[in-house]
Amino acid sequence: MSNKTLSAVLAASALILVGCDDDDDDNAAQTRVQAVHASSDAPLANVTINGDSSTTSSTYNSQTLSGVNYATASGYIALDEGENSVQVDVQLPGGEVATVIPNTVLNLDSSLSYTVMVIGNADPSSEFAVEPLIITRDAAGDGDTSNVDVQVVHASPGIPEVDVHVTGPNDDINPAAPLATLSYKASTGVVSVPAADYRVRLALAGTDTVAFDSGTVPLPAGAELTIAAIPNVNNTSDADMPAAPVKLLVMDGSGSSIIHDANEIAQVRVGHLSADAPDVDVSVDGAVALNDVVFTVVSDYLDLVAKAYDLGVFAFDDPTTLQIDAQGVEFERGKDYSVYAINDLANIDALVIEDNRRPVATSATLSVLHGASLPAAATVDVYLTDSTDLSNSDPALPGFAYTDIVQNVYVAEGTYVVTVTGVGSKDPVLQLEGVALENGKVYKAIATNGGILAADITE
């Protein structure tokens, strides 16, 4: 992603809203703004509000939201009406940032609430460039505590025009009577409906071909919701039920949550990291799912219906004696998980981790797990270097303890050496050379008693 290209595109997108000027005053009328990361291949974002004192009069309201992840909204932030500025940077390898929305002055009106979304694709080859999208709504709402105010936004690039159907849970779709028809970047006005259980479906415009089905969702009384259809980047799909192309980001003014398609599944993989345990079998709800899993082997991702499961690990082909008996492990719709058998056999346990598998266009993304149970390696330093010589290098992960995991580490594309040493030492305990990392991919590295495992987990 070129900084110059993005800056040019975004500078050409006028973000200035015409409103009421207001002097910096303790009694100034207030407005509300929420920031939303909705660019599916962009890195974690830093959102700075009123960070440039030369362009705004509300510098005492200056604040920065750091490390905002995709599909996350800040909730409303109270600001004085009049001039306020917003800048959005995304995080790059080595602590660098790229500006995707330059410091831009917004003239805000206290009668409105604002949702500032970063949408589009960071991949420079995409026809849908990263850009800002601003949605407004009446700040007052309808004032009826028995109703819910809902506004819907189409924020998913590449998805064609859709009909929005908000119906009772068991109602059929009537293609002739959608709530609204929206193209990319379009939004509805605020619609007030009685608080109740509803079903939200997106269908290709003019048809009953459903691209997204929420199933039954409650819309609570008194809520003021902004609901955005954003790209579904989860890898959860099977041959019979492909993943929905979108998911719904629900913003209630204090934060956000996700509604996945009702048919979305979970994906789970299992790894054997218990050094003195024999080959093991893995059962799911009493049925054997994996046979003879060898130490340091990590399975492919398995498709599972999203629900709670009883997971068992047994050795010696004896399912009556479970070394691990994990009851009621919850796997949520549209999410990815790794389940590792850790510790020695006498103390074997299950470590469940929700995996990040969202690639970003600007770098490789690295996840690292300390899975080596050797007492001498209880806490280590981890290096990521371009050679085996560590003499002039600082650890990328200093003081990394057993079972620690770090995700969303952005690394420049290239070939690296991964080295594990004792804390403060330059002497390798484990070392893996020739680790090739590419932009737009996610990699998992696991330090084990037997070495370092590294794999692309994007697919």
Tokens of 389: 């010589």
pLDDT band at 5; cut points 50, 70, 90 = very low
Residues 341 and 393 occupy one common structural domain:
no
Please give the average per-residue pLDDT across 189-200, as a whole number.
95
Q: Is the pLDDT of residue 436 over 90?
A: yes
Q: Is 154 in contact with 179 (CB distance < 8 Å)?
A: no
Choose the weakest-confidence range: 140-144, 339-343, 389-393: 140-144
Q: What is the pLDDT of residues 88-109, one digit of tens each?
A: 999 999 999 999 889 999 999 9
For residue 150, give the nearest of 246, 223, 73 by alpha carbon: 223
Mean pLDDT calculated for residue range 366-395: 95
pLDDT above 90: residue 53: no
DSSP at 60? G
Q: Look at residue 153 in the predicted model and tell me its pLDDT.
A: 98
The pairing of strands 364-370 and 397-401 is unpaired
Q: Is 355 exposed, middle or buried (0-12, 13-18, 19+ CB in 10 A)?
A: buried
Residues 281 and 419 in one domain: no
- Mean pLDDT over 146-174 rounds to 96
Instruction: Please report which confidence band the pLDDT of residue 8 belongs to, taking 50, 70 and 90 as the band edges.
Output: very low
pLDDT of res. 17? 32
Are 130 and 43 in the same domain? yes
Q: Are residues 277 and 399 in the same domain?
A: no
State the average pLDDT over residues 8-23. 34
Q: What is the DSSP letter of 301?
A: P
Instruction: Give the number of other Cβ atoms within 10 Å of residue 105's Cβ.
Output: 18
The CATH number of residue 395's host domain is: 2.60.40
Q: Point out the domain boundary residue: 209, 240, 259.
A: 259
Q: What is the per-residue pLDDT across 18-48, written as a single tens digit (0 to 9) for each?
A: 333 334 455 679 999 999 999 999 999 999 9
pLDDT digits (tens, 9 = 90+) for 353-371: 999 999 999 999 999 999 9
Q: Are 368 and 351 found together in one domain?
A: no
Do 342 and 400 reside in the same domain of the chain?
no
Q: Per-residue pLDDT tens for 402-411?
A: 999 999 999 9
Query: Would you say residue 203 has pLDDT above 60?
Result: yes
pLDDT value of residue 350:
96
Q: What is the arrangement of strands in the sheet containing 442-448, beginning at the earlier edge strand?
A: 405-411, 364-370, 442-448, 451-456
pLDDT at 355: 95
Say yes or no: 46 and 167 in one domain: yes
Q: Nearest 5 degrees, angle CA 76-CA 78-CA 83?
A: 115
Domain boundary among 221, 243, 259: 259
Give the Cα separation of 192 and 190 in Å (integer).
7
* Claim to verify: residue 334 and residue 375 sit in the same structural domain: no
Full residue range of the structural domain in which residue 303 is found? 266-355
On whether both 115 and 225 belong to a single domain, the answer is yes
Looking at 337, 355, 373, the residue that finishes a domain is 355
> In this predicted structure, what is the pLDDT of residue 458?
79
Give the residue-averaged pLDDT of 194-205: 96
| pLDDT interval class at 457 (50, 70, 90) | confident
Q: Please answer whether residues 85 and 55 qualify as being in contact, where contact means their C-beta atoms are separated by less than 8 angstroms.
A: yes
Select the more confidently predicted residue: 3 or 184. Answer: 184
Categorize the per-residue pLDDT at 237 as very low, low, confident or very high, splitting at 50, 70 and 90. Answer: low
The model's pTM: 0.89
Same domain assignment for residues 253 and 272: no
Q: State what percent of residues in the chain have pLDDT above 70.
A: 90
φ/ψ (deg, to 5) at 268: -135, 135
Tell me the pLDDT tens digit for each residue of 409-424. 999 999 999 999 999 9
Residue in this structure with the two tokens 């929305």, named with its chain if needed: 101
- 399 Cβ contact list (under 8 Å, min separation 6): 379, 381, 423
Query: What pLDDT is attached to residue 192?
Result: 93
> Does the structure show a pLDDT above 80 at 141?
no
Q: Is the pLDDT of residue 6 over 50?
A: no
Q: How many domains does the chain have?
A: 3
**Pair (317, 446) in one structural domain:** no
Mean pLDDT of the chain: 89
pLDDT in tens, 301-317: 999 999 999 999 999 88
